[in-house]
Structure 1
Amino acid sequence: MQKPDSLIFDMDGTLWDAVDTYAHSWNVVFAELGIDKTITRDVLADMVGMEGKKVIEILMPEFDHDKRVEIYALVNGRRHNLISEKGGILYDGVKEGLKILADKYPLFILSNCAKGIIRQFIDWAGIDDLIKDELAHGVNFMPKNHNIKLLMDKHGLKNPVYVGDTAGDGEQSRLAGIPFVFISYGFGTTTDYDLKFDDFTSLVNYFANL
């Protein structure tokens, strides 16, 4: 793999773990609406990286599409406040590593989350000066391969790589025509990758020394 001109990162399972906060946001809204449902960490962890429309189909099969969308909007609204309050768990070496990488590459975050969540994460983690741009699925409801290409076109990227933690991330990278870097400490598994790292610091060391 040739040296990239930029690094595009997935967020959940790659840079941090906020599944407990995400689950709490669902359960708060269900309680407020009088819906007798509880979402556990284990259930939600299996859905990390999925597009929202798939998540709400799985979590709320008893409701029609419009009701699911209505509840999901409430959850995401509540999530904005909860991320500021509760945050998540930043993986070891992420903040320090991003500082090192930002000296060598433009850094981007692209996730299948709702609109505004990446910005919440950036502010919570204190990495605003390190991230050149971000794009969430909730902005245009398009798949990752489409949004990768949008970032490439917007910023004139010729040879980016996508860093993620699921087989879906790999598939979308292939569809976008760029290399996929798999990190094994996240939520998914795959054997289809160009590079694999077992911790964030190893990834940083590799790309910082290319």
Structure 2
Amino acid sequence: MLKPRAVIFDVDGTLVDTVDPHAESWRRAFAAFGRQFGFDEIRRQIGKGGDQLLPVFLSEREVEEEGDRIEAFRADFFKREFLPNVHGFPKVRELFDRLIADGKTIALGSSAKGEELDAYKAAAGIEDLRLVEVSSDDAERSKPHPDIFQAALDRLSLPAADVIVVGDTPYDAEAAAKAGIRMVAVRCGGFDEATLRQAGALEVYDDPGHILASLPPQ
């Protein structure tokens, strides 16, 4: 884990198993407005917020005219159909407890909305921990722009060299690099090791439990 003073964790696909539900919610939202896109092509874009995902599939004019309504449909569908059943990946709480015991400060840097982030913390079993939190509500642009991670750095009051990011997508890696932060990746969000390393991940683990198992004995 490169011996940082603080660790910024992405959430979707890193701590909680939400990538497929998000992809399906976007697919349903596009379909409701007459656009048919495949699940797999949408899934490859998960990790971006709506501000960055919508322009991949829609023209600038379409985004301007219908983007807000499509995104609102997506958010409502996800909240209704998937959010109540979201579950965390194994060993998230144990990993956080270990990092805190080692003196690390933990931040969450997510493209999720604040309300979703609260549900994710509960699903991962970390809702009672004192964490630095940054959501899409705190950033003008979502990943792969660096705004979310930069906001987390500002709240940590640490230089980028003393921090690492843990994420599951190449967009996390791109955003971290733009903020000058080292990044390690997990594969539980669905991206393969080669893609993650090509995007800039220095190390790749299977999931949070694999990170925990890799730490030296206390």
TM-score by length of 2: 0.76
Partner of 1:71: 70
AA matched with 2:165: Y
How far apart, CA to CA, are the structure 1 residues paired with 2:126 and 2:188?
A: 21
Q: 1:95 aligns with which of 70, 73, 93?
A: 93
Partner of 2:157: 156
1:140 deviation in Å? 2.7
Instruction: Call closer, same or farther: CA 1:11–1:120 in 2, change over 3 Å.
Output: same
Instruction: Call closer, same or farther: CA 1:40–1:136 in 2, change over 3 Å.
Output: farther
Does the 8 Å CA contact 1:23/1:40 hold for their aligned counterparts?
A: no
1:175 deviation in Å? 1.7
Partner of 1:13: 13
AA matched with 1:152: L
Partner of 2:206: 198
Q: Secondary structure at the match of 1:194?
A: coil
Query: Which aligned segments of 4 or more residues in structure 1 are displaced greater than 4 angstroms?
Result: 26-31, 36-41, 59-62, 207-210
1:9 deviation in Å? 0.8
1:127 aligns with 2:126: yes
Q: Secondary structure at the match of 1:129?
A: coil
Q: 1:184 aligns with which of 182, 187, 198?
A: 187
Instruction: Call closer, same or farther: CA 1:2–1:119 in 2, change over 3 Å.
Output: same
1:48 aligns with 2:46: yes
Does the 8 Å CA contact 2:196/2:204 hold for their aligned counterparts?
A: no
AA matched with 1:205: A
How far apart, CA to CA, are the structure 1 residues paired with 2:36 and 2:123?
A: 26
- Matches of residues 162-177 of structure 1 in structure 2 within 5 Å? 162-177=165-180
The number of equivalent residue pairs is: 207
1:147 aligns with 2:145: no
Gaps of 5+ in 2: none
1:122 deviation in Å? 1.1
1:5 deviation in Å? 0.8
AA matched with 2:95: G
Does the 8 Å CA contact 1:26/1:39 hold for their aligned counterparts?
A: no
1:160 deviation in Å? 1.2
Gaps of 5+ in 1: none
Instruction: Call closer, same or farther: CA 1:208–1:156 in 2, change over 3 Å.
Output: farther
1:5-58, CA deviations, whole angstroms, 9 ceiling, x for partnerless residues? 111111122112213432454466568xx5455666423321111231232233
How far apart, CA to CA, are the structure 1 residues paired with 2:64 and 2:11?
A: 27
Instruction: Call closer, same or farther: CA 1:120–1:156 in 2, change over 3 Å.
Output: same
Instruction: Call closer, same or farther: CA 1:100–1:205 in 2, change over 3 Å.
Output: same
1:128 deviation in Å? 1.1
Instruction: Call closer, same or farther: CA 1:74–1:92 in 2, change over 3 Å.
Output: same
1:126 deviation in Å? 3.0
